[in-house]
Amino acid sequence: MLIPTKENTKTITDLRERALELLDQVQKSGPTYIFHHSQPKAVMLSMEEYTNLLDTLEDYLDSIRAQELEANPESGGKSLSELAKTYHLKI
């Protein structure tokens, strides 16, 4: 879990006045919390981190859906072994 520290915490004013510098920092140091009136309002991520996060979430949701379909075949799902047999795949 990411913990707010002096190094990864910035304000709206910092963002407004030094946006390019903050973007560079995010690229080098990772996620940065953006605070407004001492309250966390956003997190800045590099595009690579954001894409990795979305890919991880998609993989996780796909695995949950696959488990549901495999456990409940009458809902239209097929097991991996059934798919391999149908499409002549080696697993």
Question: Cα torsion at 79, 84, 85, 89 (round to 10°)?
Answer: 180
Indicate whether 19 pLDDT > 70: yes
pTM score, whole prediction = 0.66
Dump pLDDT digits (tens) for 53-91: 999 999 999 999 888 877 876 776 677 888 899 999 988
CA angle 33, 36, 3 (to 5 degrees): 25
Structural domains present in the chain: 9-45 (3.40.1620.10), 48-86 (no CATH)
